[in-house]
Structure 1
Amino acid sequence: MAMEPAPDEVDFESPGHFRIYKSGRVEHLNKPPVLPAGLDEATGVKSKDVVLDAETGLSVRLYLPKLQHEPSNKKLPVLVFFHGGGFMLESAASATYHTYVNPLAAAAGVLAVSVCYRLAPRHPLPAVYEDSWAALRWAASAQDEWIAEHGDLGRLFLAGDSAGANIVHDMLLRASGDGGSPRVEGAVMLHPWFGGSKRIEGETEVAAEVTAVFWKYACPGAVGGVDDPRLNPLAPGALAPEKLGCARMLVCTGSKDWFYARGRAYYEAVAASAWPGDVAWHESEGEEHVFFLEKPECEKAKQLMDRVVAFVAGA
């Protein structure tokens, strides 16, 4: 007599957002719509999708802000953006990120390249890092006509939120280990997601639990579990912060962010290291994790956008 398969039990749930089942299946409870590329009437930014690898599905969405007539020969900084979502959610084309990168490109005056990488658990790590590295190198090669014509690759920036900021950290280490190529001027870490097996001062039990569950499904083969250096850059054996391959860094978080303690510890470790670059800190008082995506019109979100814009401009 055939046995009925055991029901798929819920391992973790974020109410109103998603459920992760013990099988590794991820159920979206509030999946944002996918928006097409094109002209954004509100900002004047044009966007287009480019497939980089048809076999894996790796693609990018490029954003070109409205060009000013004077000076006609002025090129734009290039900003490569990595979306968040715990390595398992969202995409470059989701409303969450399309509606963030559009105004970012306009306000900062950058040619943005938003990376649409493969998602775990279907594609466990290191797929996300490999895709992100391939996309970064592609952007730096100026193969695309928009980048070749309008991009200043002497002013290359990386940015990402949550897991996307985690990706930024990995990209900086790769850039440093690859002879400094591509050369990155600055990196913006928006509410970075890091973890570790031992809770640090200020880290909540909920934050540690969320991190452990996500990492288990995103990277099931991780040596050391949550102390894998890709998730815990301060773990024994991790590459020292002085290996970061950029000249400037801005680390941002909210005072009520679940991952505030880890973000602050990362900032302090970089600031105290022998890294020769400049690192700055921006804290949004009273705000939670990636609040600027959910309420971009609030005053603190505008202040954060202004800070990112100033950082790209060199301030």
Structure 2
Amino acid sequence: MAASTNKEVAKELLPLIRVYKDGSVERMMDSPYVPPTLDPDPQFGVSSKDVTISQNPAISARLYLPKLAQPHQKLTVLVYFHGSAFCFESAFSFIDHRYLNILVSQSQVLAVSIEYRLAPEHLLPAAYEDCWTAFQWVASHRNRNSINHHDHDHQNHSNVINNKEPWLLNHGDFERLFIGGDSAGGNIVHNIAMKAGEDDQESLLKEGTGVRILGAFLVHPFFWGSGPVGSESDVSDNYDHKKRLEYLIWEFVYPTAPGGIDNPMINPVGSGKPSLAKLACSRMLVCVAGKDSLRDRGVLYVNAVKGSGFGGEVEFFEVKGEDHVFHITNPDSENAKKMFNRLASFLTK
């Protein structure tokens, strides 16, 4: 009996993750890690490499560079945040590596896919802090001479490695900076754009430390709230909104969130929430899938942004008959090809 007690389950969030009493964590939905391909990937012609952004906390990234037409070509920069409920998958996992290879080859962008810390070992807001630090590190390459340590909120993130990344220096066009993400990554995109909007970007640009986000894409973004929206309550007479997986995920990854499931980071729509007019990007694309349980939240979010006084352009794209992140799990399907074409057209416009 003694041998098995150390593998007693302390907490689980099925079918995603299980935490044992000995502190070990089993991630049931992870895809395997794959190495980067510095020599161009034979299928897509994309080169990739891994870089360390910060050692304490541990933040890193995988960079993707498409085949260049000329040696000093400048490319749109995409800072990408992977999904998977803030608690599994990785910037280095097979499905995300494949996804970025396809997206980079089609849109000809220089992509930086962020590896942030995961719950439950590192509960939120750790992932938000890591992604903001990583975004600031990428943006610092706009000014070739200095690393941008402008981060008034998280002094513990001052250990950013003081190095410049040659791909970003040589090929990054910082007049064309995009952020993007799927699922929980789409949620991160919203929160990065809101945080950037709290800073005075104009004065930061004059100082040489600011950067303007041209565009943001949110694919099947993870938003939720205490009250059902649209089809969320059309399940059964015994429907309990608090037992929905989306609700339980947020409680699992951010148990101390002020306001719980109605914290503006997960539920950005409604009275008393920060104005969505603050979103610091010029263009936004929100994508939903017809069968996705998050679909109606995505529609609600788009309408709220449009009605907020947001000064940018808002685009909406729906693929009927598909479920959550179908284009990542089955990228060769016809509908996935439509998704990639839509993302590529947004990034190249």
Q: TM-score, normalised by structure 1?
A: 0.92
Structure 1 residue identity aligned to 2:306: A
Structure 2 residue identity aligned to 1:179: D
How far apart, CA to CA, are the structure 2 residues paired with 1:25 and 1:196?
A: 30
Q: Residue 231 of structure 2: which of 185, 196, 202 is its match?
A: 202
Aligned to 2:218: 189
Structure 1 residue identity aligned to 2:86: F
Deviation at 1:29, TM superposition (A): 2.5
Deviation at 1:297, TM superposition (A): 0.5
How far apart, CA to CA, are the structure 2 residues paired with 1:245 and 1:80?
A: 15
Is 2:269 aligned against 1:248? no
Deviation at 1:28, TM superposition (A): 2.2
How far apart, CA to CA, are the structure 2 residues paired with 1:75 and 1:193?
A: 33
How do residues 107-126 of structure 1 correspond to structure 2 at under 5 angstroms?
Answer: 107-126=106-125
How far apart, CA to CA, are the structure 2 residues paired with 1:30 and 1:242?
A: 36
How do residues 1-315 of structure 1 correspond to structure 2 at under 5 angstroms?
Answer: 7-8=8-9, 11-14=12-15, 18-20=16-18, 26-38=25-37, 39=39, 40-69=41-70, 73-142=72-141, 143-180=164-201, 181-204=210-233, 209-314=244-349
Q: How many aligned residue pairs are there?
A: 307
Deviation at 1:21, TM superposition (A): 5.1
How far apart, CA to CA, are the structure 2 residues paired with 1:139 and 1:10?
A: 36
SS for the counterpart of 1:132 is helix
User: For 1:85-118, what per-residue CA distance to the aligned partner results, in whole angstroms no more than 9, with x for missing partners?
Assistant: 1100111000010110011111101000000000
Pair 109,206 (structure 1): closer, same or farther in 2 beyond 3 Å: farther
SS for the counterpart of 1:266 is helix
Pair 115,5 (structure 1): closer, same or farther in 2 beyond 3 Å: closer
SS for the counterpart of 2:347 is helix
Could you tell me whether the CA contact under 8 Å between 1:227 and 1:235 is conserved in 2? no
How far apart, CA to CA, are the structure 2 residues paired with 1:96 and 1:26?
A: 21
How far apart, CA to CA, are the structure 2 residues paired with 1:63 and 1:95?
A: 14
Could you tell me whether the CA contact under 8 Å between 1:207 and 1:258 is conserved in 2? no
How far apart, CA to CA, are the structure 2 residues paired with 1:5 and 1:48?
A: 38
Deviation at 1:267, TM superposition (A): 0.8
User: For 1:127-159, what per-residue CA distance to the aligned partner results, in whole angstroms no more than 9, with x for missing partners?
Assistant: 101100011111111131101100101100000
Could you tell me whether the CA contact under 8 Å between 1:203 and 1:262 is conserved in 2? no
Pair 124,12 (structure 1): closer, same or farther in 2 beyond 3 Å: closer
How far apart, CA to CA, are the structure 1 residues paired with 2:241 and 2:321?
A: 17
Unmatched runs of 5 consecutive residues or more in structure 1: none
Unmatched runs of 5 consecutive residues or more in structure 2: 142-163, 202-209, 234-238
Deviation at 1:212, TM superposition (A): 1.6
Could you tell me whether the CA contact under 8 Å between 2:76 and 2:173 is conserved in 1? yes
How far apart, CA to CA, are the structure 2 residues paired with 1:297 and 1:230?
A: 33
How far apart, CA to CA, are the structure 2 residues paired with 1:216 and 1:22?
A: 18
Q: TM-score, normalised by structure 2?
A: 0.83
Could you tell me whether the CA contact under 8 Å between 1:25 and 1:121 is conserved in 2? no
SS for the counterpart of 2:49 is strand
SS for the counterpart of 1:202 is helix
SS for the counterpart of 1:203 is helix
Pair 109,272 (structure 1): closer, same or farther in 2 beyond 3 Å: same
Deviation at 1:8, TM superposition (A): 2.4
Could you tell me whether the CA contact under 8 Å between 2:6 and 2:20 is conserved in 1? no
Percentage of identical aligned residues: 41
